[in-house]
Amino acid sequence: MAWYEPGWTLGFVLIAGAAWQPAPVQREVDRERMALILAPLSFAVVSLGLLAYGCVRPLEPLAVALAVSALAAVMVRLGLTFRDNRSLLVATRAEAVTDALTGLGNRRALTSGLEAALASGTPHVLALFDLDGFKHYNDTFGHPAGDGLLIRLGQNLSDVLGSSGSAFRMGGDEFCALLALEDERLVSAAAAALSEHGEGFDIGCSQGSVRLPDEAGETAEVLRIADHRLYADKRSGRVGADRQSKDVLVRALIERSPDLEGHAHDVAVLAEATARRLDLDEQEIELVRHAAELHDIGKVAIPDEILNKRAALTEEEWGFIRRHTLIGERIVAAAPSLARVGALVRSSHERWDGAGYPDALAGGDIPLGARIIAVCDAFDAMTVDRPYSVARSVGDALTELRRCAGSQFDARVVECFEAAVAGIEAPSLTGSAG
């Protein structure tokens, strides 16, 4: 074995040992700061040494002047450093209570403002806002555009409040306003300031407000109540989102078949009135009305020559007609929030005796909302001129409904429908009465 071969083993050991050593910490910034401090300190020490030496031995005037100048320069440098540090401290304190994106106060600033408002004992209002539709905007236009929107809305909120209150951004898409007076109009104006509409987007907001100190006397309690009311408002706003989805589908139906606009509206009015006579709750009434407006949405897939045919339909053409409720259900249920509406659309042409379509349901197996729509649809169809029939009077149409109660229609629904018609003052009803 050659004398140098153990060196290979030693080299690998040293490399392995080096891998276990901690990485050196980079202190370039610290070195720069130390240099800024050490330079003036060095001059000051030298100057003091010269002046101290001057007490023992006489110095040249130039040396004394240089020493004094050096000390003066050190004092100026210390003054400048103090000024810079003070500015940095002020900026740091401002950043600690300021939202970096919008420039509004942040949650820490809001907490301080709430504590001051509660301590003053004067009436204030805290309004909490959460943007609706912001996620869709971000996904559609990108995060930079979303940041731009937040900046604009924050500025709008600040401008609306003016000297009457302070605006804050809680983070994400949540904003807040602390008002120095109780003014519901100002709260509404603040909510309007946090709205923006354009092609492909619709930004609004949900809100929750609380009065100080009447409803809450502690900061945590104020925020808890406002947050609870905000999300209660947001939950109720989901009904509004369902309505928007429904409106889009209704508009598509009207664009395809403009003559169905009046029919959809009238059936919806009658269905809502009948549902109220049946003592349904508000949520169910809203569901029935949506389904009534959309019960013909499946007809967008039926050829015009079949829909407007004056002669009797062939069996094949009737097959097309019977499929429109299934098509309607698929279209409506594409919006998950309208799934229950789609189920009513599917069953809107079932009959009480089981002879309807598409599932041949009978009696109580047919959803109540669908039974209501069936009666209202038949009434409106009888009282309006169609390509294949002449309009009947309201009285004749009601007589026909009573005749078919218990066979085609639910007798209880027909009874409540008659009461509802008697209480409705609608041009579409009085106009078709002749």
Long-range Cβ contact pairs of 210-214 (< 8 A, separation 24 or more): 210/125, 210/126, 211/123, 211/124, 211/125, 211/182, 212/114, 212/117, 212/118, 212/123, 212/124, 212/125, 212/126, 213/118, 213/121, 213/123, 213/124, 214/123
- Asked if 372 and 359 count as a contact pair (C-beta separation under 8 A), the reply is no
CATH homologous superfamily for 107-236?
A: Reverse transcriptase/Diguanylate cyclase domain (3.30.70.270)
* Chain centroid to CA 79: 52
What pLDDT score does 256 carry? Answer: 64
**Domain ranges, ordered by start, for the chain:** 33-79, 107-236, 257-430
At which residue do the structure tokens 């209570």 appear? Answer: 97
At which residue do the structure tokens 């070195």 appear? Answer: 31
What pLDDT score does 366 carry? Answer: 95
Same fold, 107-236 and 257-430: no
Sign of CA dihedral 208, 210, 215, 218: positive
- Asked if 172 and 147 count as a contact pair (C-beta separation under 8 A), the reply is no
For residue 352, give the DSSP letter: T
What pLDDT score does 434 carry? Answer: 32
Task: Report d(CA 314, CA 326) in Å as an integer.
Answer: 20
pLDDT digits (tens, 9 = 90+) for 369-411: 999 999 999 999 898 876 556 788 889 999 999 999 999 999 9
Written as tens digits, the pLDDT of the chain (434 aa) is: 555 566 666 766 777 777 676 765 555 545 666 666 777 777 777 777 777 777 777 777 887 787 788 778 878 877 887 887 788 777 777 778 889 899 999 999 999 999 998 988 888 999 999 998 888 888 888 999 999 999 999 999 999 998 888 999 988 899 999 998 766 678 888 888 998 888 778 888 888 989 888 888 888 899 999 888 888 777 665 545 555 566 666 666 666 666 666 788 889 889 999 999 998 887 788 889 889 988 888 877 777 666 666 667 777 777 777 788 898 888 888 777 778 888 999 999 999 999 998 999 999 999 999 999 999 999 998 988 765 567 888 899 999 999 999 999 999 999 999 998 887 644 444 434 33
At which residue do the structure tokens 């940095």 appear? Answer: 88
The CATH number of 257-430, from 3.30.420.40, 1.10.3210.10, 1.10.3720.10, 2.60.40.10, is: 1.10.3210.10
Strand (E) or helix (H) holding 251: helix 219-256
Q: Which of 127, 157, 316 is nearest to 230 (CA)?
A: 127
Q: Are strands 165-171 and 174-179 parallel, antiparallel or unpaired?
A: antiparallel
Task: Report d(CA 403, CA 407) in Å as an integer.
Answer: 9
What pLDDT score does 430 carry? Answer: 40
Task: Report d(CA 412, CA 69) in Å as an integer.
Answer: 106
What pLDDT score does 213 carry? Answer: 86
Kindly list the strands in the beta sheet with 165-171, ordered across the sheet, starting from the edge strand earlier in the chain: 165-171, 174-179, 124-132, 201-212, 196-198
- The pTM assigned to this predicted structure is 0.47
Task: Report d(CA 275, CA 371) in Å as an integer.
Answer: 10
pLDDT digits (tens, 9 = 90+) for 74-83: 788 778 878 8
